[in-house]
Amino acid sequence: MRESSGHRTGSGFSNPVIPGFHPDPSVCRVGDDYYLACSSFEYFPGVPLFHSRDLVHWTQIGNALDRPGQLRLPPGAPASGGIYAPTLRHHDGRFWLIVTNVSSDGNVLFTATDPAGPWSDPIRLPGVHGIDPDLAWDDDGNCWCTTAGVGQVRIDPRTGEAFGPSRRLWSGTPGAKAPEAPHLYRIGDYWYLLIAEGGTERCHGVSIARGRMPTGPFEPCPDNPVLTHRGTDHPLQNTGHADLVQAPDASWWMVLLGVRPRGGSPGWHVLGRETLLVPVDWVDGWPVVGELSTDMPAPPWQLYPPPAVPALDDFDSDGLAPHWVSLRHRPPEDCTTGMRPGWLTLNARGGSLDDTDATFVGRRQEHLSCRVRALVDTAQGRGGLAVRLDEQHHYDVEASPGEVRVRARVGPLHAVVASRPTPAGPVVLRIEVAEVQSVDDARTGPDTIRVGIEEPDGTFVELTSLDGRYLSTEVAGGFTGRVLGMFASMGAVHFDWFEYVPVER
């Protein structure tokens, strides 16, 4: 298991609380325990699940969709397709997870008695249309499914049956685009309908309405949006897609997504949309969101710092830790720790990371500056390390017997930008990502990516340095963030260990 947390800053904590590509957070509380799910898009396994006792320190306990029968992503499913916007709820002694698979099955629902799994096979919802589905139960046991738009239909969550067509509830602020990410709550005497609007880019925001019934009518909050950073120079931008949760001490909190743009104009974010945390008060029956910043006051209860996270994965276990993800699926014959004990073996499918069916195992980049290293044996093939955003935007350092090459793919352009002969035998490949510290030119990118190899004595031999802006959402588009990992482009490639280390700057 892996711990991912907003670390302490004096007497407080830092945002994001779950850094890196962990967007669209949905949270629920059961007793003293919090559980949170995020979108996973084209990656397998899907829907990472986290646990916390304080909303600040989160441990990944698994992935809800970890079997091919739960997550069907065709080989040609586009990047930023796949799994969108889960809602995670606990009701009647069970956990319920509803998501949209935009690449195959539409809206589907899963259940579990333990959020760490196993989760059920999918319950398909053919009568539920749109994305970002939400679940809420009223006092009569009716289950209401609300989707982006914002529309609603009553369903039987155990069978997937929808009772009638969807009806429009509320379209958000007049003139604001993309009313989405609805969540419906019964709080006191009202039903509250929380939505995101303005699009998931710089104009993103959170608005809310309330009504006496789960079906409305809904009146909008006079102070909408209740949270947005649009039009500001705040270090956290694109804030939206929120969910509310009440703590045992009766305080209220909001989890939401945001990004950390860096560099010059227009600002580039490379880690994807990350999970943030902010307190909420209630005034005159409406939520008032506290100031959201990178450095936050501590919650009023005891914090639970996680144990130190191992930087090195030596692949001595039978399987992979839950933070490792692959592209669209992970056939066991193409990714195994059993072929060569103590090594991860990747068997190539596609010829390169330009292919949607490439053999790739990676982890999300969670820090603005970091270093990754791996010991690679390519005696039986060709492969190495990569910084990936999608098939058209990635940097790779690729080893083959006697040579190491650095490849860059940026849109339609792809080229070998550096190469070096190497002696026979395994080689340590290395990638260093360094956040830009100062902006002297408005065109300054967010970071630099240094790519190379290590000599036997540990000396880093840089083969090239690349501009990180070309592996950013502002350049590539889409909804994901960088994933750092290992790939095989020909034959069988063996990895003895992989190290990910954040670098303080």
How far is CA 134 from each of CA 78, 109, 243, 387, rounded to the nearest angstrom?
A: 24, 10, 11, 34
Find the catalytic residue in 24, 42, 447, 467.
24
How far is CA 397 from each of CA 17, 152, 428, 490, rounded to the nearest angstrom?
A: 31, 49, 11, 14
Q: CB–CB of 272/48 below 8 Å?
A: no
Side chain identity at 422, as an amino acid letter? T
Find the catalytic residue in 54, 66, 105, 180.
180
Phi then psi for residue 211, to 5 deg, are -155, 170
Residues in the chain, total: 505
DSSP string covering 465-482: EEEGGGGSHHHH-SS---
366 counts as catalytic: no
24 counts as catalytic: yes
The helices-and-strands tally (H runs, E runs) of the chain is: 1, 40
C-alpha closest to that of 150 among 86, 228, 208: 208
C-alpha closest to that of 83 among 70, 94, 92, 95: 70
Structure tokens, 14: 């830092």
End-to-end CA distance of the chain: 27
Hey, which residues are catalytic here?
24, 180
